[in-house]
A and B are shown apart, each in its own frame.
Chain A
């Protein structure tokens, strides 16, 4: 297993805060949960209307999702299980290689 399976259960979630209040709330929870921001590169960029893609470890994803649901912030799960996607994309090699 790649990277000793460390990404098992991790998710990548896309959020677009609709208001500055939502953006500020997200910044706060991102700091608390120590997320890995895929987009943008810094928490300071999180603002109203800006797309944020956040990689959240397995042990933080429940807390984040619960927070998003309670705050009624729309989100989309881009990657349900990062380890699975990592393994899968590594195996999606061009046909020529498999031959």
Chain B
């Protein structure tokens, strides 16, 4: 499935799940697939644990993709990351060090119901697919549903809005499942990375307020080096900075929640492009987008391993 699976096309949810099942069987030394719960519509929420198996304590990095259904380049990157990790583990000293020293928890499709819906019905669907008996509109913005300044500025109380925060924090089973997992493992999760599209940005906390994080120095230098590394591949410029001032203020985001809950290094990527194709990034741009982003992620990981407390 490394050479037979096409990482340069977008895959349906079923294809991605089959890919995970296969990797779980064929790479037992580096991959373990497990479910952390079920989506609103009853689909399993799969996570890949990637890294050399070790009895000794290892820290971890969490990576999630596909929080917003229509951002298809995001799950494509998660698959690319796993592929690159497996392909280069033996040949690339950096990747070997990463997988030997850390575990990576990769959630290729966070919003499984929304992703499936964007494949079958509405290509531009964003939210989850939960229903409420009180309202005619479905879905909650899974990046406004976290318990951090929940439903304040930058989120909407209206169920029909795309930035709807939900009836209460962690109302979405997908959010609840990931939050539960991260709470349980927060002592050894060192970094949280979340992938979205589109804007070409690398963001760090805070989203919900204009303020500087206590460990700004290490986070900012990691981001600075990462965007430089990214640009070195094809010359693509990414802006970086706190989400509130670089993008806009939004409350209830996963990145802010992870940071508030003790994960010291949290980032959100907004991948290509800046509007020419928007959510319709052509498949021929999957490879360059993922290649440059891969370098940025490796850069961040190594910086955090070597330079940050």
Q: Would you call B277 an interface residue if the criterion is a C-beta within 8 Å of the partner chain's C-beta atoms? A: yes
Q: Would you call B280 an interface residue if the criterion is a C-beta within 8 Å of the partner chain's C-beta atoms? A: yes
Tell me the chain A residues, 4-22 only, with Cβ under 8 Å from chain B. Answer: 7, 12, 14
Q: Would you call A89 an interface residue if the criterion is a C-beta within 8 Å of the partner chain's C-beta atoms? A: yes
Bound-state CA distance A77–B156 (Å) is 27
Q: How large is the interface on B (under 10, 10 to 19, 20 to 34, 35 or more residues)?
A: 20 to 34
Say yes or no: A7-B280 contact (C-beta < 8 A), given A94-B8, A97-B6, A97-B8.
Answer: no
Tell me the chain B residues, 248-296 only, with Cβ under 8 Å from chain A. Answer: 248, 250, 275-284, 287
B145 CB, nearest partner CB in chain A, Å: 13
Q: Would you call A67 an interface residue if the criterion is a C-beta within 8 Å of the partner chain's C-beta atoms? A: no
A41: B residues at CB distance < 8 A? 126, 141, 162-163, 250
Bound-state CA distance A15–B161 (Å) is 20
| Chain B residue at minimal CB-CB distance from A42 | B163
Bound-state CA distance A9–B293 (Å) is 34
A79: B residues at CB distance < 8 A? 278, 280
Tell me the chain A residues, 81-97 only, with Cβ under 8 Å from chain B. Answer: 85-86, 89-90, 92-94, 96-97
Q: Would you call B9 an interface residue if the criterion is a C-beta within 8 Å of the partner chain's C-beta atoms? A: yes
| Chain A residue at minimal CB-CB distance from B161 | A42
Say yes or no: A38-B280 contact (C-beta < 8 A), given A45-B154, A45-B248.
Answer: no
B19: A residues at CB distance < 8 A? none
Q: Would you call B40 an interface residue if the criterion is a C-beta within 8 Å of the partner chain's C-beta atoms? A: no
A60 CB, nearest partner CB in chain B, Å: 15
CB atoms of B278 and A50 under 8 A apart:
no
CB atoms of B248 and A38 under 8 A apart:
no
Taking chain B's interface residues, is the majority helix, strand, or loop, or is none over half, making it mixed?
Answer: loop
Contacting residue for B278 out of A3, A38, A92, A97, CB 8 A: A38
Q: Would you call A64 an interface residue if the criterion is a C-beta within 8 Å of the partner chain's C-beta atoms? A: no
B161 CB, nearest partner CB in chain A, Å: 6
A33 CB, nearest partner CB in chain B, Å: 14
Bound-state CA distance A86–B141 (Å) is 24
CB atoms of A89 and B123 under 8 A apart:
no
CB atoms of A86 and B278 under 8 A apart:
no
CB atoms of A97 and B9 under 8 A apart:
yes
B124: A residues at CB distance < 8 A? 36, 38, 55
Bound-state CA distance A14–B277 (Å) is 12
Q: Beyond A3-B122, A38-B275, list 19 extra A-B contacts (CB 8 Å).
A: A3-B121, A7-B123, A14-B275, A41-B126, A42-B161, A44-B156, A45-B154, A45-B248, A53-B275, A78-B276, A78-B278, A85-B277, A85-B280, A89-B281, A92-B283, A92-B284, A93-B8, A94-B287, A97-B6
Chain A interface (Cβ < 8 Å from any Cβ of B): 2-3, 7, 12, 14, 36-45, 50-51, 53, 55, 78-79, 85-86, 89-90, 92-94, 96-97
Chain B interface (Cβ < 8 Å from any Cβ of A): 6, 8-9, 121-124, 126, 141, 154-156, 161-163, 198-199, 247-248, 250, 275-284, 287
Could you write out 23 A-B pairs with CB less than 8 Å apart?
Answer: A36-B162, A38-B124, A39-B275, A40-B247, A41-B141, A41-B163, A41-B250, A43-B161, A44-B163, A45-B154, A45-B248, A50-B248, A51-B275, A53-B275, A53-B278, A55-B124, A78-B275, A85-B277, A85-B280, A89-B280, A92-B283, A93-B9, A97-B9
